[in-house]
């Protein structure tokens, strides 16, 4: 395998993730720009300084500036950095985890060549995705009649490229140095989240502006490039940081003993190799071996759970209560000016009430997105992940049936779905209590339960696709694509009578369709979501039983 083949394969393996990310951000830009041009922007400019600082809203911002800032400086930047992070963490550590690094290095190419090929694919992917985001900006603005002539969109895109590349290189370096994909993903994600919120909130306290300069996100958005142009010094910090990370990755990768494919089954191997545990296994007729499957699954995804739950608890839960309470009454009175299409996109609701505020800011988009992320990643990796790492054979060599393996993989997914829902419930309840909003704890619990169920539906879909194809990429992209489609279909159904008649076809209509924050649990909706999950899980058992297992990297 030549260097160019490593480069091409790495880029081609990830193109769909980048395409989905770019298309999603462009679609949200279209929705956002269309909505912002029709409302009184004082709704935003009178928000608390903490909120304005976080998403980059100035007192003189217009519709075009607001759309570009929200969609590119915030959500778009987070999405591209997240995809770059995932690609970087998989570049070296992922190959070792899957047991395919030995295949790459069996060719007459050095470790450095492999690493540089992976890096080149990452740079190219980030660059192409950035260009794909930039291309529709001006046509969308012209189509909607929104003025953006005063904005330096190109400068923002250049900063966006450098920022995404930095986080991708950070994950790649950590993976190359440690050989542990979980460590690379978890540490980089933690730095990304802390950096984003730190740069937003630290300037609000004395001396905070200086402290924020140690955070990478400051060099992306701290100079406000969309209004002030390219900050070459800030750009140099991000690019030079990426180069230094590449050097560290090269040194660490070349000096380290590589992990073989067995690293993915360390717990099973230790259980089987320990004499005391072997005696226990014999006494329990194999139950210890089976237990280790779901325990290991919990361990594999614990970082993803902790980060997701922390964001939902603190940012989307606790913080939203005081933020709402700090909005002036005269501003609350103007919230009814928000156009229906914007409200529908984010879940619908009356923003002048605490329940409507949380429906839109937390439960409309972020809450289902968070739990769907966790369950889809787990569902896709449950079976196809084991096959891609070539560890499914080891599991099936034990006295365990295929159906038992599927069952053991489902248990952690259900557990994590409800833990994310519980974190959201706890955060919103505390936010309501701290801000004295008077929201019903029972209704919050009902909404969080439905949040967990909607996540479990798409996690079960990912599991079914994983069982049917044995390919992680198909399971993830198919499930995420279905979630985006059904969410948009449900949003459009709120605006179009013809589509509204078909709303029963989308799972999202059973999630917030009955406005559970105001009306309590929709038991019929919960039953439908649960039934969909059961059907998809049942299909997973059948598909996995009938398919030949893929045993290649």
Contact 544, 383 (CB under 8 A): yes
Percent of the chain past pLDDT 70, that is, above it, reads 79
Contact 94, 176 (CB under 8 A): no
Average pLDDT over residues 440-452: 96
Residue of higher predicted confidence among 447 and 51: 447
Is the C-alpha dihedral spanning 67, 69, 72, 74 positive or negative? negative
Percent of the chain past pLDDT 90, that is, above it, reads 29
* Top-confidence range, 213-222, 405-414, 530-539: 530-539
Contact 451, 524 (CB under 8 A): no
Q: Check whether 29 has a pLDDT greater than 60.
A: yes
| Nearest partner of 368 among 347, 393, 339, judged by Cα | 347
Least confident of 357-371, 406-420, 489-503: 489-503
Residue 522 CA, distance from chain mean position: 27
Tell me the pLDDT tens digit for each residue of 268-311.
444 444 454 444 444 433 443 444 777 778 877 887 788 788 88
Tell me the pLDDT tens digit for each residue of 128-169.
999 998 998 888 888 888 777 778 889 999 999 999 999 999
Q: What is the pLDDT of residue 348?
A: 62
Taking the C-alpha atoms of residue 348 and residue 359, their distance in angstroms, rounded to an integer, is 7
Q: Residue 509 gets which letter from DSSP? A: G
Q: What is the pLDDT of residue 224?
A: 84
Residues in the chain: 553
Tell me the pLDDT tens digit for each residue of 62-100.
667 777 777 788 778 888 898 899 899 888 888 887 777
Cβ neighbours of residue 158 closer than 8 Å, sequence gap 6 or more:
225, 230, 235
Residue of higher predicted confidence among 16 and 507: 507
- Helices 232-255, 153-178: axis angle to 10 degrees equals 20
Average pLDDT over residues 187-204: 78
Buried (b) or exposed (e) across 478-504, using 16+ Cβ within 10 A?
Answer: bbbebbbebbbbbbbbbeeeebeeebe
Please state the three-class secondary structure of 144-167 as a single string: HCCCCCCCCHHHHHHHHHHHHHHH
Tell me the pLDDT tens digit for each residue of 235-275.
999 999 999 999 999 999 988 877 654 444 444 444 444 45
């Amino acid at each position: 395998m030549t260097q160019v083949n490593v480069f091409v394969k790495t880029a081609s393996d990830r193109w769909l993730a980048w395409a989905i990310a770019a298309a999603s951000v462009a679609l949200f830009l279209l929705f956002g720009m269309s909505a912002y041009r029709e409302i009184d922007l004082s709704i935003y400019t009178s928000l608390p300084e903490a909120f304005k600082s976080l998403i980059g809203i100035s007192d003189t911002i217009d519709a075009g500036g607001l759309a570009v800032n929200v969609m590119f400086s915030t959500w778009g930047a987070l999405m591209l950095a997240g995809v770059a992070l995932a690609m970087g963490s998989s570049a070296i550590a992922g190959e070792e985890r899957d047991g395919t690094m030995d295949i790459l290095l069996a060719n007459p190419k050095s470790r450095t060549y492999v690493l540089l090929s992976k890096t080149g694919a990452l740079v190219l992917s980030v660059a192409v995705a950035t260009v794909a985001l930039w291309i529709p900006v001006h046509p969308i603005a012209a189509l909607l009649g929104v003025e953006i002539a005063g904005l330096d969109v190109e400068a923002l895109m250049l900063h966006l490229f450098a920022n995404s590349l930095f986080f991708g290189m950070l994950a790649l370096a950590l993976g190359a140095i440690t050989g542990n994909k979980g460590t690379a993903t978890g540490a980089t994600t933690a730095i990304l989240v802390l950096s984003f919120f730190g740069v937003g909130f630290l300037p609000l306290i004395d001396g905070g502006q200086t402290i924020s300069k140690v955070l990478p996100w400051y060099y992306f958005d701290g100079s406000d490039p969309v209004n002030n142009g390219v900050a070459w010094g800030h750009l140099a910090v991000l690019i030079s940081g990426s180069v230094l990370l590449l050097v560290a990755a090269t040194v660490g990768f070349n000096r380290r003993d590589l992990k073989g494919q067995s690293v993915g089954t360390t717990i099973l191997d230790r259980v089987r190799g320990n004499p005391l545990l072997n005696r226990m296994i014999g006494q329990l007729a194999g139950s210890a071996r089976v237990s280790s499957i779901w325990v290991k699954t919990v361990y594999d995804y614990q970082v993803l759970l902790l980060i997701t739950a922390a964001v939902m608890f603190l940012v989307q839960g606790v913080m939203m209560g005081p933020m709402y309470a700090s909005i002036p009454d005269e501003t609350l009175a103007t919230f009814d000016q928000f156009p229906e299409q914007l409200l529908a996109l984010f879940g619908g609701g009356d923003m002048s009430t605490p329940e409507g505020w949380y429906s839109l800011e937390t439960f409309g988009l972020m809450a289902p997105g968070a739990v769907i992320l966790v369950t889809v990643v787990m569902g896709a990796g449950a079976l196809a992940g084991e096959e891609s790492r070539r560890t499914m054979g080891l599991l099936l060599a034990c006295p365990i049936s295929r159906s038992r393996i599927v069952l053991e993989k489902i248990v952690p997914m259900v557990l994590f779905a409800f833990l994310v829902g519980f974190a959201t419930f706890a955060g919103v309840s505390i936010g309501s209590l701290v801000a004295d909003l008077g929201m019903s704890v029972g209704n919050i619990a009902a909404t969080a339960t439905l949040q967990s169920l909607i996540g479990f539906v798409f996690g079960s879909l990912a599991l079914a696709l994983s069982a049917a194809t044995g390919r992680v990429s198909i399971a993830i992209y198919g499930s995420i694509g279905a979630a985006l489609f059904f969410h948009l279909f449900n949003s459009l159904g709120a605006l179009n009578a013809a589509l509204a008649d078909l709303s029963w076809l989308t799972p999202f209509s059973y999630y917030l369709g009955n406005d559970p924050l105001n009306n309590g649990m929709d038991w019929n909706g919960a039953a439908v979501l649960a039934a969909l999950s059961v059907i998809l899980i049942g299909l997973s058992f059948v598909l996995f039983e009938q398919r030949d297992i893929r045993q290649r990297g």
